[in-house]
Amino acid sequence: MADEEKKNAHGELVKAESMIQLAIALPAGCVIGWLLGAWLDRHFHQNWIGIVGIVMGAIGGFLQIFLTASRYLRRGK
Protein backbone atom coordinates (compact mmCIF):
# COMPACT_ATOMS: atom_id res chain seq x y z
CA MET A 1 0.00 0.00 0.00
CA ALA A 2 2.87 2.38 0.75
CA ASP A 3 4.31 1.93 -2.76
CA GLU A 4 0.96 2.83 -4.29
CA GLU A 5 0.74 5.96 -2.15
CA LYS A 6 4.27 7.00 -3.18
CA LYS A 7 3.43 6.44 -6.85
CA ASN A 8 0.22 8.49 -6.47
CA ALA A 9 2.10 11.30 -4.69
CA HIS A 10 4.71 11.34 -7.46
CA GLY A 11 1.94 11.60 -10.06
CA GLU A 12 0.47 14.57 -8.23
CA LEU A 13 3.86 16.29 -8.20
CA VAL A 14 4.20 15.76 -11.94
CA LYS A 15 0.74 17.29 -12.47
CA ALA A 16 1.67 20.30 -10.31
CA GLU A 17 4.89 20.80 -12.29
CA SER A 18 2.91 20.76 -15.52
CA MET A 19 0.52 23.40 -14.21
CA ILE A 20 3.43 25.61 -13.09
CA GLN A 21 4.95 25.20 -16.55
CA LEU A 22 1.67 26.39 -18.09
CA ALA A 23 1.60 29.46 -15.85
CA ILE A 24 5.17 30.46 -16.72
CA ALA A 25 5.24 29.68 -20.47
CA LEU A 26 3.52 32.77 -21.87
CA PRO A 27 5.17 35.46 -19.71
CA ALA A 28 8.60 33.88 -20.11
CA GLY A 29 8.20 33.70 -23.88
CA CYS A 30 7.19 37.35 -24.06
CA VAL A 31 10.08 38.52 -21.87
CA ILE A 32 12.66 36.47 -23.78
CA GLY A 33 11.27 37.69 -27.11
CA TRP A 34 11.29 41.29 -25.88
CA LEU A 35 14.89 41.05 -24.67
CA LEU A 36 16.12 39.51 -27.91
CA GLY A 37 14.12 42.01 -29.94
CA ALA A 38 15.49 44.94 -27.95
CA TRP A 39 19.02 43.67 -28.48
CA LEU A 40 18.41 43.32 -32.21
CA ASP A 41 16.85 46.82 -32.27
CA ARG A 42 20.03 48.27 -30.80
CA HIS A 43 22.28 46.19 -33.01
CA PHE A 44 20.51 47.06 -36.29
CA HIS A 45 19.37 50.60 -35.28
CA GLN A 46 15.67 49.82 -35.74
CA ASN A 47 12.58 50.37 -33.59
CA TRP A 48 10.21 47.59 -34.62
CA ILE A 49 12.08 44.36 -33.91
CA GLY A 50 11.26 44.43 -30.18
CA ILE A 51 7.55 44.33 -30.95
CA VAL A 52 8.05 41.40 -33.30
CA GLY A 53 10.06 39.68 -30.57
CA ILE A 54 7.21 40.07 -28.08
CA VAL A 55 4.71 38.67 -30.60
CA MET A 56 6.99 35.75 -31.48
CA GLY A 57 7.52 35.04 -27.77
CA ALA A 58 3.77 35.07 -27.18
CA ILE A 59 3.27 32.63 -30.05
CA GLY A 60 5.96 30.38 -28.60
CA GLY A 61 4.33 30.57 -25.17
CA PHE A 62 0.91 29.68 -26.58
CA LEU A 63 2.44 26.74 -28.47
CA GLN A 64 4.04 25.50 -25.27
CA ILE A 65 0.73 25.84 -23.42
CA PHE A 66 -1.12 23.98 -26.18
CA LEU A 67 1.43 21.15 -26.35
CA THR A 68 1.53 20.70 -22.58
CA ALA A 69 -2.27 20.79 -22.27
CA SER A 70 -2.79 18.32 -25.11
CA ARG A 71 -0.17 15.98 -23.59
CA TYR A 72 -1.91 16.25 -20.21
CA LEU A 73 -5.36 15.58 -21.70
CA ARG A 74 -4.07 12.63 -23.74
CA ARG A 75 -2.56 11.11 -20.61
CA GLY A 76 -5.89 11.45 -18.78
CA LYS A 77 -7.85 9.34 -21.27
* Segment 50-74, tens digit of pLDDT: 999 999 999 999 999 898 888 878 8
Q: Other CB atoms closer than 10 Å to residue 54's CB: what's the count?
A: 20
DSSP secondary structure string for all residues of 23-66: HHHHHHHHHHHHHHHHHHHHHHT-SSHHHHHHHHHHHHHHHHHH
* Segment 8-30, tens digit of pLDDT: 777 788 888 878 888 899 999 99
Would you give the DSSP letter of residue 42?
H
Query: For the purposes of burial, counting CB atoms within 10 Å of the CB of 26, is it exposed (0-12), middle (13-18) or buried (19 or more)?
Result: middle
* Segment 27-55, tens digit of pLDDT: 999 999 999 999 999 999 999 999 999 99
